[in-house]
Structure 1
Amino acid sequence: MTLQLVDIGVNLSNKAFDKDRDDVVSRAIEQGVTTMILTGTSLEESQQVLDLARRYPGHCFCTAGVHPHGAKDTNTQTFKALKSLFNEPEVVAVGETGLDFNRDFSPRPAQEKVFENQLELAIECGLPLFCHERDASERFSEIIKNYRDQISKLVVHCFTADKTALYRYLDLDCHIGITGWICDERRGTHLHPLMKDVPENRLMVETDAPWLLPRTLKTKPKDRRNEPAFLSEVINMIANNTGKTPERIAQETWRTSLVFFNLECPFPP
């Protein structure tokens, strides 16, 4: 049985897909990944993924935002340009935005300011937020608390943190995005018991392709490139750790994702 899935995080503009982007999208659809949210991490990339979403209408949508790594390079014009992108029908979320205190490619005060700017833009335009957080869950949560009553919805994408961080986010009614990290027996097993703690209407799945190739794949591509067609590996691992069937996890995450991104599609029975 082919599952119907939404991949909420695909870096389709990445150069790893330059040679076969059409085939990647076709393979995804063949494997039931009928909806893909393409990630914008800078103003330039946000425009690129918007163009790609238009290239694959009905199957691809996108986000627009500035990743914390690029916070130091933003200015007033950046946010003005982003604001205009939020009017495009293919743009369904603000982001990727947030905090990264692991690599600190931008100074932390700059990250926080740019994050707050995008929170304010999301409130103004009414779009949900697609967020990145690494080694910064406490500060991330503190900032979110100041805006939470005004934000429509927020997902912490590629969640890899611990139970304490998870409960911080669930207490703030955040959504949780799970990637192939959960399929990694070396570093992702701490996520297994946490899957039962995430309410079904808060859980979504993603590949974060071309990265985080699921280590559970029986036949791995030689180039180690991940792609949306492999999303079912994440579904299966969640199912294994919740006592639910893959079909049920697929249905729940599909429904939750469509509601989160305000996408009008007929729900499965």
Structure 2
Amino acid sequence: MANMTHQWVDIGINLTNKRYDKDRDSVVTSAIAGGVTKLIITGTNVKESQAASKIAQSQPTHLYATAGCHPHDSSSLNESGLQVLKTLLELPNVVAVGECGLDFNRNFSTPEEQIAAFTAQLELATDVQKPLFLHERDAFDTQQSLLQKYLPKIPGGVAHCFTGSKEHMQAYLDMGLYIGITGWICDERRGLELLENVHLIPDDRILLETDGPYLTPRNLKPKPKGGRNEPKFLPHIAAKVAQARGQTLAQLSTVSYQNSCRLFRLESAH
């Protein structure tokens, strides 16, 4: 039986992913039963943002969405796509612009296309006055310079799925951003730096997310069928985060829930 005194928000769940097609409703139901009472569905391009919004509308007290264009899809973002995103972002349960940002690691879209798409979405966030749901990989300096230009006009944002250095974490915090922590922190190979640094995030800036179906916590036992991550595993990730921060689960639950509601204005989004 879940401890329902602990309430959680999964700020990043890719619920439109085809790996949830057969049991999407039960994935949500089991998350809620486990105390993950609010889920923000990530929009990664125009089509996926439309799908995320549609799913969110099916359970407005529990589900929300973002609308945006991931850097990988930047080459496909045009004026009509931006107009669709703007229309979505005017809906109350679409709570952030993104997943947006820069990814110079694999360059599925050219750096130039990525910068153009990201800039367009920064303008969009300024226009609709909603926060940013940010992705960044191997592009920190360029991303930081763009953010410093626009953030004074935008109501904040989160560095989603943060896996970077202590210096980059501090730079994001200095810009007023929140930090999103995933099951990466449960990876004894790649997550050690994050495990060491997570205590440096102030109580009023930490957010939690699964990024499911990806980033299944490596220390989860038994391993989920097919290796699929789900929002119901968020309390497992939270336990690792709380331990590393020297906090109780109750403390982490309280602050991360309040932070999520504050940044994304969840309580007023119905």
The TM tier, using the shorter chain, reads over 0.9
Specify the alignment match of 2:203 in structure 1. Answer: 200
Aligned 8 A contact 1:10 1:228 in 2: yes
What's the CA shift for 1:129?
0.7
How many residues matched?
265
Q: TM-score, normalised by structure 2?
A: 0.96
Cα deviation digits, residues 62-115 of structure 1 (max 9, x gap): 000000001111111111111111111110111110000111100001101110
Specify the alignment match of 1:240 in structure 2. Answer: 243
Matched residue SS, 1:99: strand
User: 115, 118, 122: which is aligned to 1:119?
Assistant: 122
Specify the alignment match of 2:18 in structure 1. Answer: 15
Aligned 8 A contact 1:183 1:233 in 2: no
Q: In the aligned structure 2, how far is the partner of 1:43 from the partner of 1:104? A: 19
What's the CA shift for 1:218?
1.7
Specify the alignment match of 1:46 in structure 2. Answer: 49
What's the CA shift for 1:222?
2.5
Amino acid at match of 2:246: G
Aligned 8 A contact 1:50 1:62 in 2: yes
Q: In the aligned structure 1, how far is the partner of 2:205 from the partner of 2:139? A: 21
| Structure 2: runs of 5+ lacking an equivalent | none
Aligned 8 A contact 1:239 1:249 in 2: yes
Cα deviation digits, residues 101-156 of structure 1 (max 9, x gap): 11110000110111011011101111011010111112111110111211111101
Cα deviation digits, residues 212-235 of structure 1 (max 9, x gap): 101121211130000000001221
Instruction: Write 1 or 2 for the structure with the bigger share of helix.
Output: 2
> Does 2:148 match 1:145?
yes
What's the CA shift for 1:192?
1.3
Matched residue SS, 1:93: strand
Specify the alignment match of 1:229 in structure 2. Answer: 232
Matched residue SS, 2:10: strand
> Does 2:173 match 1:170?
yes
Q: In the aligned structure 1, how far is the partner of 2:119 from the partner of 2:30? A: 38
Q: In the aligned structure 2, how far is the partner of 1:250 from the partner of 1:134? A: 28
What's the CA shift for 1:167?
1.2
User: 31, 34, 40: which is aligned to 2:34?
Assistant: 31
> Does 2:124 match 1:89?
no
Matched residue SS, 1:96: strand
Q: In the aligned structure 1, how far is the partner of 2:128 from the partner of 2:242? A: 35
Structure 1 stretches of 4+ with a deviation exceeding 4 A read: none
Specify the alignment match of 1:59 in structure 2. Answer: 62
Q: In the aligned structure 2, how far is the partner of 1:148 from the partner of 1:14? A: 30
Amino acid at match of 1:61: Y
Q: In the aligned structure 2, how far is the partner of 1:64 from the partner of 1:34? A: 21
| Structure 1: runs of 5+ lacking an equivalent | none
Matched residue SS, 1:187: coil
Matched residue SS, 1:34: strand
Amino acid at match of 1:165: H
Cα deviation digits, residues 175-206 of structure 1 (max 9, x gap): 10000000000100111121111111111000
Q: TM-score, normalised by structure 1?
A: 0.96
Aligned 8 A contact 1:216 1:233 in 2: no
Matched residue SS, 2:95: strand
Name the % identity.
46
User: 51, 76, 79: which is aligned to 1:76?
Assistant: 79
